Amino acid sequence: MEAAPRSEYVTEANWTLYLSLSVEAITAMRHYLENLTLEKSQALRTNLNRVRDVQNEYQRIGGNTVRIVQSRGLLLIEYALQCMLSPQQAGEYAYRVGREYTERYDPHYGTGLIPASLPLLEDLMQFWDYYYGL
């Protein structure tokens, strides 16, 4: 998240909060992976709740309830925490992380996997290549 610029719609105070929550959550995930314990699992759950709480705004738009997301980076972390805490749904949340990370928007192409997504897709492929030792 530090590499991503702050949106003009996000206040400096909120951006600082998002960065702080991100660092805490990533640290908790690393500690959990080093040694899976109930205490560390509870720390992940606490981080998940805190991350969700700061982006817990919903609006009715066109007859639907829509969640207002201020930080895509924080949403990625939320999905990653869910992935670790919900083994039965890990595939779904891992997919969400990958999709949210790689999808981009360009007026010429629309939203989805577009040419600007290629470097991000390569990041994902390198991650899994490293993970599986290929």
Is 24 inside any structural domain?
Answer: yes
pLDDT digits (tens, 9 = 90+) for 7-27: 788 889 999 999 999 999 999
Q: What is the mean pLDDT of the chain?
A: 92
Taking 70 as the threshold, does the pLDDT of residue 129 lie above it?
yes
The predicted model scores a pTM of: 0.86
Task: Decide if 78 contacts 48 (C-beta within 8 A).
Answer: yes
Structure tokens at 96: 């969400």
Smallest Cα–Cα separation from 85: which of 72, 94, 73, 98? 94
For 71, other C-beta atoms within 10 Å of its C-beta total 24
The stretch 91-117 carries a mean pLDDT of 93
Q: Indicate if the pLDDT at residue 3 is higher than 80.
A: no
pLDDT of 2: 52
pLDDT at 96 over 80: yes
Q: What total number of domains does the chain contain?
A: 1
Any domain includes 66: yes
Q: What is the span of the domain harbouring residue 65?
A: 1-88
